[in-house]
Structure 1
């Protein structure tokens, strides 16, 4: 279960995607903040050192800083990342997952898959049996 004080950051250059994901998360009691670009999100992260979302949902393909670069920078901070993309490029999917992405979702995805990915990302890796 996601703590209501936790924030999920949504980074996508498509405003309608940001709005839709924010609305979906809100319907489950999850707070979300949206960013229109990787640059905007990373600038916020560096400008406000205390800002640490519980999880970041980021589009792979965006102008400027792309999702893989955002993921690379977040890996240093230990913030879980869920990659989303309208294009299912196997090489990009493999690169994202190999770099530690908690999930890779192809747009459009259904809300149940999104909620499960967010819960799993925030919970972190579970110890094996």
Structure 2
């Protein structure tokens, strides 16, 4: 009673990816809000101080602010960041993880790996 359902912010300029992740997370009881740009997500955070996702999934390559820049701006917020990308680059991966990303996943990712990664970031112990 009184427990808020965990939710995640999904930031990806490809709306179909955002919808797919939202459906996937919903299927395991995790809510998700989708944003089509880093600017939209950061605007929501700054305009609504009570808005606090349990973690954020960020696409790295987006028009405007890319995922790494959004991650940098979230520094110190305590919000775990999971970065996703279709264009894996060892240097970018190293930079993301060194900057504190909880995970770095390459698209297309395995659904169960994404779910476990999000559950870990949210501090949820998956059911056996």
* TM-score (normalised: structure 1): 0.91
In structure 1, what is the equivalent of residue 15 of structure 2? 15
What SS class does the counterpart of residue 51 from structure 1 fall into? Answer: coil
How far the C-alpha of 1:76 sits from its partner, in A, is: 1.9
1:10-40 Cα offsets, whole Å, 9 max, x none, are 0000000001000000010100000000000
Secondary structure in structure 2 of the residue aligned to 1:120? helix
SS at match of 2:50: coil
- Pairwise CA distance, 1:75: 2.0
Number of equivalent positions: 122
Cα deviation, 1:40-84, whole Å, max 9, x if unaligned, reads 000000000111100000000100011001111222211000000
**Superposition CA RMSD, Å:** 1.3
Partner Cα separation in structure 2 for residue 65 and residue 78 of structure 1: 20
SS in structure 2 of the partner of residue 109 of structure 1: coil
Structure 1: 5+ residue stretches without partners = 125-129
**Which ranges in structure 2 are unaligned for 5 or more consecutive residues?**
none
